[in-house]
Amino acid sequence: MSTPQSIFVNALKDPINKEEAFRRLVSEYKERLYWHIRKLVLDHDDANDVIQNTFIKIYLNIDGFKENSTLFTWMYRIATNEALNFINSKASKMGLQNKDWIEAKADRLMADSYFDGDEAAHLLQKVVARLPEKQRIVFNMKYFDGMTYEAIAEIVDTSVGALKASYHHAVKKIKTEMNDKF
């Protein structure tokens, strides 16, 4: 039986309906994917580059989408990979480790005109930036987006148990560092 998702995916694969369906897809998911990316790259201009590349990848690769996962999970995975590749490319151009590059971005957040946070919010971002990459992704998805472990597991291709451990470690580190500063 055709589900609403498979009908929509078929429209995305159909050359006649592709553009219209793609427009609907962008309209529906642009904000959720943008905020996911923004939390990973921190800067608006960088997030703008990554979200555009993400949608173009989705557009070009939709024919290869086999519906083994939900469309949203598949797109989230592409967005995550695009953001990580972006960080990797920027960091290596500057001769930095990914973690150092993102920490430098977090340090400069107060000077960013698109960041309204107070000192506590800035500190939280700086502490999150110091987490190992995987813990940072899991923390963002769980804490800020309120996603279930099952959904995160599908996106980052890890077991639910490993994710729970990652999140637990991340929260513990953040609490310790925040308590030290305040």
Partner 1 sequence: MTNFNQKNYFRVPKGYFEKLEKRLIRNSKSSSKKLYFNVPSGYFDTLEEAVVRKARSLTPPKTHERKANALYYFAGIAASLTLVFNLIQYQQNQVIEIEDQALNDYIENYYMDNLDSYEMLSMMEDSEIELLSDFSNKP
Q: Give the interface with partner 1 as residue ranges (CB under 8 A).
A: 15, 18-19, 22-23, 26-27, 30-32, 34-35, 38-39, 44, 48, 51-52, 55-56, 59-60, 114-118, 121, 144-145
Nearer to partner 1, 38 or 93 (CB): 38
Inter-residue contact 35 to 48 (CB < 8 Å): no
Smallest distance from the beta carbon of 178 to partner 1, in angstroms? 16
Nearer to partner 1, 38 or 136 (CB): 38
Smallest distance from the beta carbon of 51 to partner 1, in angstroms? 7
Nearer to partner 1, 104 or 165 (CB): 104
Long-range contacts of 4-10 (CB under 8 A, 24+ apart): 5/67, 5/70, 5/71, 6/67, 8/71, 9/62, 9/65, 9/67, 9/71
Smallest distance from the beta carbon of 161 to partner 1, in angstroms? 26
Residues with Cβ within 8 Å of 67's Cβ and at least 6 positions away in sequence, in order, are: 5, 6, 9
Q: Give the containing element (helix H, strand E) for 88.
A: helix 71-93
Other CB atoms within a 10 A radius of the CB of residue 99 amount to 16
Nearer to partner 1, 13 or 162 (CB): 13
Smallest distance from the beta carbon of 132 to partner 1, in angstroms? 20
Dihedral sign computed on CA atoms, order 71, 77, 83, 89:
negative
Smallest distance from the beta carbon of 149 to partner 1, in angstroms? 18
Nearer to partner 1, 51 or 170 (CB): 51
Other CB atoms within a 10 A radius of the CB of residue 43 amount to 17
